[in-house]
Amino acid sequence: MAQYDVIVIGSGPGGYVAAIRCAQLGLKTACVEGRETLGGTCLNVGCIPSKALLHASHQLHEAEHNFAKMGLKGKSPSVDWKQMLTYKNETIEVNTKGIEFLFKKNKIDWLKGWGSIPEAGKVKVGDEVHDAKNIIIASGSEVSPVPGADVTVDEKTVVSSTGALELPKIPKSMIVIGAGVIGLELGSVYSRLGTDVQVIEYLDAITPGMDGEVQKAFQKLLKKQGLKFTMGAAVQSVKASGNKATVTYKLRKDDSEQTAEADIVLVATGRRPYTDGLGLNALGIEMTQRGQIKTDAEWQTSVKGIYAIGDCIDGPMLAHKAEDEGMAAAEVIAGKHGHVNYGVIPAVIYTHPEVASVGQTEEQLKEEGRAYKTGKFSFMGNGRAKANFAADGFVKILADKETDRILGAHIIGPMAGDLIHEICVAMEFGAAAEDLALTCHAHPTYSEAVREAALACGDGPIHM
Ligand code: NAI
């Protein structure tokens, strides 16, 4: 039995970052992880593997659609699915091994196994009980069942995102339930690989919570790429038989019941906090009605010395939000001041084009009754984007009408997930749109579109 200043439960982006920061701050730290490899959902079955498949399938798309236009002639590459999965698995390995290296470098003990908390100050892993002055729960999330529907995920014909990253072959047809981030990222992958993809979504717009104008433009571009959408449809059941699955759904507009069939059904209707087996009930840790662990402003639960961060607490289920909370909780435990600015957490969808946002949407500002102005610039006016066949989309900046302070930004277009960060930094500094507009941006870069959108909040963009 060892004694630690901090034991972190879970080694996803929230947990491993918390452990590293604790160690950097001089705390004796261990991290409990039951998987064979470190990195949690994100590195093993989420963000990282899906990005590998998105990257590979995008290269194929480029070869098929744009190479000839650039004078690159010849047969398009054919898909070796087995090799693509190997590439994906190697990408996972190099990343998870990287965390293992960082643990060793920072002298963090990896306690292998599934952890529980028998009492405050103790963490049980296997038969061993370890003492910990502080515990950080970073146990993440799991796929949530389709609300009110009869759906069993078998990870063969009816898959979650985990199964969708390991299909034995590229399916001819796929139904995606839910037009959220997972459904559209993985739907895009298979659509580019030749699968006939139909997305069935309960709401009338894709990607709930996103700026309305971006939602519309995004759906239009995805349709152009071949994805089919059935909107306003509540899935009732999925029945697998043989190598097919049948989805029954009700159209909200007329209550009519419809069915659709595909080789694979991907269930992407959301995730829920995962806290099974930790013993939270017996500890008396307060939970929210949505099954999240309740925390105070310093990520401490209702039991002193036990903290929680990431997907298992309130807020967007995003790796980088968990990372920030992990660092902040470590600072608090070390007696410093930990802080997360929840108003400036970017969200990115890694389709092509990418979609990225930060801060408030136009809909939220209207609802608040806030006086705002909009600066918008299309990538059609961006030289680099036109040269790269990447001129679909736009940058939209929302700023306070009086003070010009940036309130939100929404980008659909090339490298949107990277471009958003200059706006995040500007927002952290309380910048006005004019501050971005007066900052010199290198030419020719996609980032000029951000500057032009900022100029559009003032006297107008140059190239439009
Ligand atoms: P989501 O919450 O983003 O989207 C789920 C969608 O399913 C919603 O549009 C909802 O209206 C729809 N839906 C629910 N029940 C339905 C039914 N019975 N019939 C038809 N449609 C139904 O959930 P998703 O995509 O599964 O992602 C889970 C979490 O993982 C999210 O919090 C997301 O932010 C996170 N994530 C983030 C990524 C990123 O940052 N790039 C990548 C992957 C996941």
pLDDT tens digits, residue range 172-211? Answer: 999 999 999 999 999 999 999 999 999 999 999 999 999 9
Task: Tally DSSP H helices, then E strands, for the chain.
Answer: 14, 22
The secondary structure of 59-73, three-state, reads: HHHHHHHCCHHHCCC
Does residue 147 have a cis bond before it (omega within 30 degrees)?
Answer: no
- Strand 196-200 to strand 244-251: parallel, antiparallel, or no bridges (unpaired)? unpaired
The two three-digit tokens of residue 370, written as one number: 């806030």
Nearest CA to ligand 1 atom 3: 180
Q: 């705002």: which residue's tokens?
A: 372
DSSP assigned state of 282: H
pLDDT, mean of residues 307-335: 98
- For ligand 1, the distance from its centroid to the CA atom of residue 185, given in whole angstroms, is 11
Domains and CATH numbers, the chain: 3-143+272-333 (3.50.50.60), 150-269 (3.50.50.60), 347-455 (3.30.390.30)
CA of 47, closest atom in ligand 1: 42
- For ligand 1, the distance from its centroid to the CA atom of residue 438, given in whole angstroms, is 38
Task: Provide the pLDDT for residue 76.
Answer: 86
In the residue annotation, 352 being an active-site residue is answered as no
CA distance 1 to 57: 48
Rg (CA), the chain: 23
CA distance 183 to 177: 7
CA distance 226 to 280: 46
- Strand 109-112 to strand 29-33: parallel, antiparallel, or no bridges (unpaired)? parallel
- For ligand 1, the distance from its centroid to the CA atom of residue 50, given in whole angstroms, is 15
- For ligand 1, the distance from its centroid to the CA atom of residue 379, given in whole angstroms, is 28
pLDDT of residue 1 exceeding 70: no
- For ligand 1, the distance from its centroid to the CA atom of residue 369, given in whole angstroms, is 28
pLDDT tens digits, residue range 357-396? Answer: 999 999 999 999 999 999 999 999 999 999 999 999 999 9
- For ligand 1, the distance from its centroid to the CA atom of residue 316, given in whole angstroms, is 11
CA distance 270 to 88: 23
pLDDT of residue 2 exceeding 90: no
pLDDT, mean of residues 257-277: 98
413 lines ligand 1 (CB under 6 A): no
146 lines ligand 1 (CB under 6 A): yes
- Strand 372-378 to strand 306-308: parallel, antiparallel, or no bridges (unpaired)? unpaired
pLDDT tens digits, residue range 122-166? Answer: 999 999 999 999 999 999 999 999 989 999 999 999 999 999 999
315: region left, alpha or beta (phi > 0 left; psi from -120 to 50 alpha): left
User: Given ligand 1 and candidates 44, 144, 182, 312, which is best to mutate, with the most ligand atoms within 8 Å of its CB?
Assistant: 182
359 lines ligand 1 (CB under 6 A): no
460 lines ligand 1 (CB under 6 A): no
409 lines ligand 1 (CB under 6 A): no
Question: Is the Cβ–Cβ distance between 299 and 328 less than 8 Å?
Answer: yes
Query: Which helix or strand (DSSP H or E) is residue 89 part of?
Result: helix 81-105
Nearest CA to ligand 1 atom 30: 317
- For ligand 1, the distance from its centroid to the CA atom of residue 144, given in whole angstroms, is 10
**Active-site residue identified among 58, 61, 337, 443:** 443
Average pLDDT, the chain: 97
User: Given ligand 1 and candidates 202, 236, 290, which is best to mutate, with the most ligand atoms within 8 Å of its CB?
Assistant: 202
348 lines ligand 1 (CB under 6 A): yes
How many other C-beta atoms are found inside a 10 Å radius of the C-beta of residue 296? 9
CA 364 to chain centre: 21
48 lines ligand 1 (CB under 6 A): no
Q: 């939270």: which residue's tokens?
A: 280
151 lines ligand 1 (CB under 6 A): no
CA distance 405 to 454: 11
In this prediction the pTM is 0.97
